[in-house]
Amino acid sequence: MKIISCIEELRAHLQGQLRTAFVPTMGNLHEGHLSLMRLARKHGDPVVASIFVNRLQFGPNEDFDKYPRTFQADVEKLEKEGVYILFAPTEKDLYPEPQEYRVQPPDDLGNILEGEFRPGFFTGVTTVVLKLFSCVQPRVAVFGKKDYQQLMIVRNMAKQFALPTEIIAAETWRAEDGLALSSRNGYLSEAERAEAPALFRQLNIVADEVRNGHLDVFELERKAMADLAARGWKPDYISIRKQSNLQPPSAGDMAQGEKLVVVAAAKLGKTRLIDNLEI
């Protein structure tokens, strides 16, 4: 596996490649990330991964400096997966001058849910993803469904900018107890790790209620948040949304069987976890 930090060197190595499959990451790789590499290989060749902790998507009180960086272990995992190139730029490589041009997602998608609780987050995400796409020029790129809103925003961005990159969605990889794998799970204490699967269990309870014909969205959301709070969590949101655009469903949508997703974000101790479940 070649490890490249320079954009010009990366482009030279990929010149003439028409089927490049790309998986952008922030490192601290786990089995969920590695499953994205395997899915990428099914859709293209060569497989290019990136590791870059993107300062633009961290808020002033978030964990940029504390974000776990495990580069050598990540390299070993990617080598075992047969990744062709690891693009690992420094901040000076990717942002040689202040990144004053930004990609701004539409308010009705970028400023709801995660965007409401993390202002500017999706601007940082879309800006770095567009720049990484410019560097790698992939035919396909793989993103996990765990970050459901991010997946939708990136997919819509690629469509509206007519990018020659197909966005592939990968199913969420879970531990045996149901917890969605995340780099931030490493922040959990032993007791918190034992409690963490309660978030996914709560999503399943909400999904089952919807499937059984419970149409009062607000009551389902309120009860789910109250149940989590009673267990010591601090929920930001548990929300039932339409899969098509992440807007709240109307009573008519519910009655007509609109495809839905329940999305959630909640703090357990000092660790903020997100998850979702399609209905």
Which active-site residues does the annotation give?
Answer: 33
Tokens standing for residue 188:
């959990």
Q: What angle do CA 62, 66, 72 make, to 5 degrees?
A: 135
Tokens standing for residue 185:
């799970």
Burial status of residue 26 (CB atoms within 10 A of its CB: 0-12, 13-18, 19 or more): middle
**Ordered DSSP codes for the chain:** -EEE--HHHHHHHHTT-SS-EEEEE-S---HHHHHHHHHHHHH-SSEEEEE---GGGS-TTS-TTTS---HHHHHHHHHHTT-SEEE---HHHH-SS---------HHHHSSTHHHHSTTHHHHHHHHHHHHHHHH--SEEEEETTSHHHHHHHHHHHHHTT-S-EEEEEPPPB-TTSPBP-GGGGG--HHHHHHTTHHHHHHHHHHHHHHTT---HHHHHHHHHHHHHHTT-EEEEEEEEETTTSPPPPHHHHHTT--EEEEEEEEETTEEEEEEEE-
Residue 240 near residue 249 (C-beta atoms within 8 A): yes
